[in-house]
Chain A
Amino acid sequence: MASPDAASSPDAFPTAPHDPPTASGFVSGFVASLHSILLYVLFGTFVGIGALGHDYGFSLPWMWASTLLVWAGPAQVILISVLGTGGTPLQAALAVTLSAVRLLPMVVSLLPVLRTPKTRVWHLILPAHFTAISLWVDAQRLMPAVPRDRRIPYCNGLGTGYMVAAMTGCTVGFFLAAGLPNAFAAGLLFLTPMVFMMSVMRNARTLVDQLAFGIGLVAGPLLATYRVELDLVWSGLLGGTLGYIIHRWRKAAR
């Protein structure tokens, strides 16, 4: 049980006086990614995405480029399946952008934790690009133990580790595609919801976050069933706001 938390212990950060914070922060972040279960899940998820891309006739370099630039599993699945089944570019763009709204609150809540007064805006572009569910979930767990001046390179190291795993998985999946039994392909795609659900159940220690997650879990599919437009936006605002209000009540009552 100790290994996933090893990277968050203070001694994972050598603090020799001449130790450049950027390089060592990046390395610590990269190493932390190797200790995270999410790295292996990303690998598995991208085996599934690589196989999907192969089946719909996309080339491997295209899959690599979309992994690097889009860097969001659900958006890539949408992009591949909409374009691959002959959907119009406009349909694909709309579906992608709707799925990507979730990235906004994640970036907004992550970047203030990384910043120092000396941080320039362009320093935050790469961390913002790396922000996806996996990085956001792990940052919640790992960042508090990282010295403030190393958080940006640490975040970039973490993101790089995930991206390497995803690219490798994508490549493996692309070549495996033909030989991958459907049950396994389904199992790989099932990794994503399972691991995100369990990670949040483990990491959400505050009542606000637990309530928000519980409400969102029910509201998301429910709103989608009734074909409410922007279902994820509404389930986010509903779950987040209700969770926050209940948290304020409890605080006021104490």
Chain B
Amino acid sequence: MEKDFSILIGGEAGQGTRLAGNLIANLFNKLGYFVYVYEDYQSLIRGGHNFSEIRVATEKREARKKEIDVLIALDKNTISLHQKRLKREGFLIFNADRIEQKKGIGLFADKIVKEEGGIPQMVNTVFISALVRCFGIPFEILENVLREKIKKGIDLNLKIAKRVYQSLESQTKVAEVRPLTSFLLLTGNEACALGMARAGLELYFAYPMTPSTSILNFLAQKEDELKVKTFQPESEIAAINMAIGSAFAGKRSAIGTSGGGFALMVEALSLACQTETPILIVESQRAGPSTGMPTYNLQADLNFVLGAGHGDIVKFVLQAGNAKDALFLGNLGLNLAWQYQTPVILLLDKDVSENTFSVDSKILKKLKIKKPKLFAGKNYQRYKITKDGISPLAFPGFDFIVKANSYEHDESGITTDNEIIAQKMQEKRKRKFEQMEKEVEKLGGIEVFGKKSAKVAIFPLGVCKGSAIELAKEFNFKVIFPWILQPFPEKSVKKELKGVKKIFTLEMNSTGQLANYLKKFGILAQSILKYTGRPFFVDELKEKFKKL
């Protein structure tokens, strides 16, 4: 039987609801469910309102539902903001020390923690244990998760958990649905970091900017395990120029930022193009323009990223719709950068970056390091004119003299404004772009879901992919997700559009940037937009499509 329910846990920043959400996700992961965690938090350190929404299902579900089955309230605000979303038969679990409320399961969490001699954040253990009991989940499973995830004060946490567990009655039964499988819980940023590491990433440079920062933090924490060095320089401009230097010297390098930081990097993006230096740029979008809403999502950097760079720019633009994509594309992106000696931009968004997804770990085994074209022979010329536009690589410090130049240059790298040489170099880079187009054809560049012969197709952007897939199932649509955006996978898209009568895009911006981009290729789509900073609810979309 299909099971699909949502749990919302909310409180003030600093109360630890995010960690609690993560523990709940791990618990259901252990039980063999697919898990998707939406994180909603504000740009502040204490106070305010944070919540995690955990969707648990027997099928892969990567979207939010408006209706929730369990509401766990650490503060009063959580009840007033979210109670209207709770199903009539749903459970409300709340902190009776802080909230006066008749209905639901009230726990004197502060009191329990105090009596047991714990610290304030341990109230989360109280609620998780209550949830586990309500769902009839064996205590051992909770114990395993707590032991795995909590290192400090584990005994005390377990004592608190046990006390709560024993004091409550089971309300329902959640059966284990799959044997323990190989599914990992990863945020998009963690997945992206792992994907890059599997492509041989050696140096990662980043200046902190939400929502890309956790790539830097994750890689820094896993430095010795993943063998990737990280560095936080003085600015985004420094980050990209350093990464270009380290790639020039032969080390696989990547950088990460959000829209504002990317804007600062664009001059050097063009430098990477002109010097033909391989570099992967992860751009995780947040709500703009300008500083915008740092912890909320708008997919409104698409135009900017596609058009970024002065001069005739040769680059790849990829987009991820979930953590699995981020893993695969972080890997592919770095490999493509080296194969084509070009900048590659991997577009994420706040929800892909920071939400947690179930990822089949089998995909990790498929990730490889692809070797670039290296020079062998005598008389090295960095910008040798070749048929495919790709000049073999060599690095300074070894056998050859290597000259890389931001000016237009001749084959050896020396500055030129000679019209014949300049034209040849422009054409060389153009031929390289044509090779990249062929690569896109080879890769396909799209993922298709839903009914093959569908008359309606949806193109989702980033995290909207999860909602689109659910919609397609309900209405017999098909979903076309172009994970390569530039060069555009025109052939494979047009093949999929045969027989399609109506096309929609699903995007989180106010102008329909994806629909406008598709127009360039003669694809006319109606855009379904949301631009509140929060991703679509699947039920909200279903209502909308019923009316259409």
Q: Are A and B bound to each other?
A: no
- Chain A residues packing against B (C-beta within 8 Å): none
- Chain B residues packing against A (C-beta within 8 Å): none
